[in-house]
Structure 1
Amino acid sequence: MLNKKIRSPIKKIKWGVAGCGNFAEHSFLPAVLISRRSKVTSIFSNNKQRAKQLANKFSISNYFSDFEKFLTSEIDAVYISSANINHYEQAIMAADAGKHILCEKPMAMTTEQAKEMIDTCKKNNVQLSVNYVLRYHPVVLKAKEIINSRMIGKLTSINMSFNINLPPSENFRYNKKLSGGGALRDLGTHLIDLLLFFGGEIKQINGGLDNIIYKEDVEDYAYATVKFKDSGYGNFNVSYCNKRALNRIEILGSKGAIAIDNLIGVKNEPSKISILLKDEAKRVFRRRGNKMLYMLRSVQKAFLKNETPLVTGEDGYINLKLMEELERQCS
C-alpha cells in the first residue's frame, strides 16, 4: 500500500476590511474569493446595515460598526478602503493592534499623517503597504525589467494618461474635506507611482489643476511634468470628464520605446505591451488578468512572511509629498 503524502493546510491571511464602498465590494472582495491564501473574516462600516449587507453577500463571519471591536476580531491584516480622511486614524489604531495594513491611496490627507503611520507600523513591527495596484501587473513589471536592462537605452521621457467619466455625485471624492482633492489624488497618484517605479527619484514637479467641465469643490483635471534625478522627464494628465479616452503609457529611450495599452481604466481586454527597437520588428505581448488579484498575491505573501512589500509606506509618503507640492503651486 502506497503511503499518501498528507498536504499541510495552506496558511491564509485573515483580512478585516474597513470601509464598504464600491471599490471594496466590486474589486477587493471578489479578488479575495479567488485567492488561495486570503480570507476576509471581518468587515467594518460606520453604517452597520451596509456592513451586514456585504457580510451576507461575501459570506463574511463578522461585521461591525465599532472599529475597536472590529480590531479585536480574528484578523491578521486590515484593508483600509474608507474615505481618505479616515485612513490615518484607522491605520494608527490597526498598527497599535498589531495588524498588517494595506491602505488605499492616497495613504493619508497630509505627509505629516503619512510619516506617523509609517513610524507607528515600524514601532509595532507590522507591514504597511499602499494599494498602487497598477505596479503589480505583469506588463508593468516587464516594462520595469526592460528599462533596467537598458534595452531601450537611456531613459528620455515617459508619457501617461488616465482619464475617466466621473460626474459629480455624493461620492466622497467630490467632497474636499473627505478626499483632500480630486482627480490628482484619485487618479494622478497612480501615475505618480508608476513614474517613480519606472524612472526613479523625482527631483522636480510642475503642473496644474483645473475645473474644465465640472465646477465643483475639487479639480476635475490635473497635469504635471516631472524631472527624474537620473535621466529624463515624465508627463501625465488625469481627469474625471472624458466619457471615452485612450489611456496609455509611452516610455521612450535613446535606443527604443515601450507602449502599454489597456492597462488603465480597462477591465475586459488583455493589457498589451509593445516593444520597439531600431532595426527590429515590433514585439507585442498581451496579458489578461485581475489587477487586484496580482496585487493581493504579492501583498499576502509579504504579510505572511512579515517581509517588505513591493509598495511600501515610504512609497506612499513620497507620492503624497509630490502631490502636495503640485497643490501648493496651484493654490
Structure 2
Amino acid sequence: MNSRRLFLQKLGGTALATQLAPIAAWAAKPGMEETYQGPVLRVAIMGLGGYATRVADAMKDCKKAKLVGVISGTPSKIKDWQGKYNIPEKNCYNYENFDTIKNNKDIDAVYVITPNALHHDNTIRAARAGKHVICEKPMAISAKEGQEMVDACKKANVKLLIGYRMHFEPQTLEVIRMRKDGELGKITFFQGLTGFTINDPNQWRVDKKLAGGGSMMDIGIYSINGARYMVGEEPIWVTAQETKTNPAIFKEGVDETVQFQLGFPSGAVASCLSTYNMNNLDRFFLNGTKGYVEMCPSTNYGPIQGRSHKGPLNQPIVTHQTVQMEEMADIILNGKKPVVPVDGEEGVRDMKIIEAVYAAVKSGQKQKISL
C-alpha cells in the first residue's frame, strides 16, 4: 500500500460538533484523481518506540486519520518526530504536562503505545482530557484494570478501541466469512502457535512490573483472540501448562512458554502455544467437518498467507496499521461496526481469559471461564 499511494492531507472546512475538523485528501493514481472529503481523526501517539514508528509511517497513507501530535518522556524523540512527521510544537507533550491536552482542540484521539503496565493510567488520563483512546493490546495487566479503563471512557463520553489490527486484515476476514457461510461445516478444532525468542534480560517485555507477565501478555493474546474469532464462540474452560528453561531471563511471574487448551460450548476445542523461547511460530489452523483453513504466517506484519481445502486465499496484501487506523477512524467518526469488535469490552474479555490461563497453570486444574 505504501508503494501505491501517498496521501496529502490539508486541514480545512467547518468544525464538527465534536470538534473534528473536515479535511480534503487527494490520492494520486495514474490517469485519475481520487478525492476524499470528510472528517479526519487527528491522532497524538503516546510512547515513541519501535511500534509507534511503524504506526506513524503507516498513517502517511491514511485518508481518514492523521498523525498530529506526540507524547513522550524523551525530549530528543519528540524533536526527531517533529522533524520527521511535521508535528507542530503546540501538539507535543511530556508525561508531566500531558493533562493539558484537554485544551488542545486540534487533537481528537490519543493512541497509547506504552508498556502494558502503563496503559491503564495513560488511557484514563486521556479520557479525562476528553480524548478518544486507541490502546495497544493487551489493554492492561488485569481484567480489573481493563474494566476501569472502559468505565472511565464511558464516563468521559469518549470511545476506547484496542489495537487489534488483525480484525481488519483481509485474509483473516475471509476465513471468518468462510466460517460464517458454512463453507467449513461445523467447527471442531483450532490451533494457534505464536512465539519468538527473547535473549535480552533487560527488555521491558520480561520485566513483570512493566509487562504484567511474560509471553502470554504479549504474543499469547493473538492465539486467545484468534481462537475466539476463528471458532466464532467464547471459550467456557481452559487448561494450561507452563515450561520454563531459562529462569535467569524469565523470573518469577514472567512466563516463558505456556501451552493452553480452550473448550467451547459447541464442543470445539483449541490447542495453543505462546512462547518467548522459540522462533518460526506464527500459525493458525481451523478445522471443520467440511474443510479447513491454514494461515502461516497468521499474525505478523505480513504478508499474511493462507490456504484452505479449496486452495490459496487470495485477498489483497495490505499494510495492517494503515487499514487499522482508517477503520478505527470510521468507527470513531461515523459509528461504523467492524466485523470483529475492537472496543474496550473485547479487550477485557481477552484479559479474563489470560487470567484464567494463569490460574490453570498455577492450579493444574481446568478453570471455568465466564465472560
- Please say whether Structure 1 and Structure 2 have the same fold, judged by a TM-score greater than 0.5: yes
Q: Does residue 127 of structure 1 match 2:181?
A: no
Judge which range, 303-312 or 101-110, deviates more: 303-312
In structure 1, the partner of 2:39 is 11
Cα separation, 2, equivalents of 1:214 and 1:139 = 38
In structure 1, the partner of 2:352 is 321
Q: Does residue 187 of structure 1 match 2:219?
A: yes
**Counterpart secondary structure, 2:218:** helix
Distance 1:153 1:132, change over 3 A: same
In structure 2, the partner of 1:32 is 59
| Equivalent of residue 162 in structure 1, options 176, 179, 194 | 194
8 Å CA contact 1:127–1:308 kept in 2: the answer is no
8 Å CA contact 1:157–1:252 kept in 2: the answer is yes
Residue type at the aligned position of 1:299: M
Deviation of 1:138 (Å): 0.6
Q: Structure 2 stretches of 5 or more lacking a match?
A: 1-34, 363-371
Distance 1:263 1:294, change over 3 A: farther
Cα separation, 1, equivalents of 2:123 and 2:337 = 17
Aligned residues: 317
In structure 1, the partner of 2:299 is 264
- Deviation digits for residues 77-98 of structure 1, max 9, x if unmatched? 1100011111111111212222
Deviation of 1:183 (Å): 0.6
Residue type at the aligned position of 1:53: D
In structure 1, the partner of 2:20 is none
In structure 2, the partner of 1:294 is 323
Deviation of 1:19 (Å): 0.8
| Equivalent of residue 77 in structure 1, options 102, 106, 109 | 109
- Aligned-pair identity in percent equals 23
Judge which range, 204-213 or 191-200, deviates more: 204-213
Q: Does residue 235 of structure 1 match 2:271?
A: yes
Listed as ranges, the matches of 1:195-234 within 5 Å are 195-199=227-231, 200-213=233-246, 215=248, 216-217=250-251, 218-234=254-270
Deviation of 1:8 (Å): 7.6
Cα separation, 1, equivalents of 2:216 and 2:109 = 28
Cα separation, 2, equivalents of 1:273 and 1:50 = 38
Cα separation, 2, equivalents of 1:176 and 1:284 = 39
- Deviation digits for residues 168-208 of structure 1, max 9, x if unmatched? 24332111011101110100112211111122111011112
**Counterpart secondary structure, 2:360:** helix
**Counterpart secondary structure, 1:164:** strand
Residue type at the aligned position of 1:271: I
In structure 2, the partner of 1:285 is 314
Deviation of 1:211 (Å): 2.3
| Equivalent of residue 250 in structure 1, options 275, 285, 290 | 285
8 Å CA contact 1:95–1:101 kept in 2: the answer is yes
**Counterpart secondary structure, 1:222:** strand
**Counterpart secondary structure, 2:126:** helix
**Counterpart secondary structure, 1:202:** coil
**Counterpart secondary structure, 1:250:** strand
| Normalised TM-score (structure 1) | 0.89
Q: Does residue 47 of structure 1 match 2:83?
A: no
**Counterpart secondary structure, 2:236:** strand
Cα separation, 1, equivalents of 2:216 and 2:68 = 33
8 Å CA contact 2:170–2:315 kept in 1: the answer is no
**Counterpart secondary structure, 2:324:** helix
8 Å CA contact 1:43–1:70 kept in 2: the answer is no
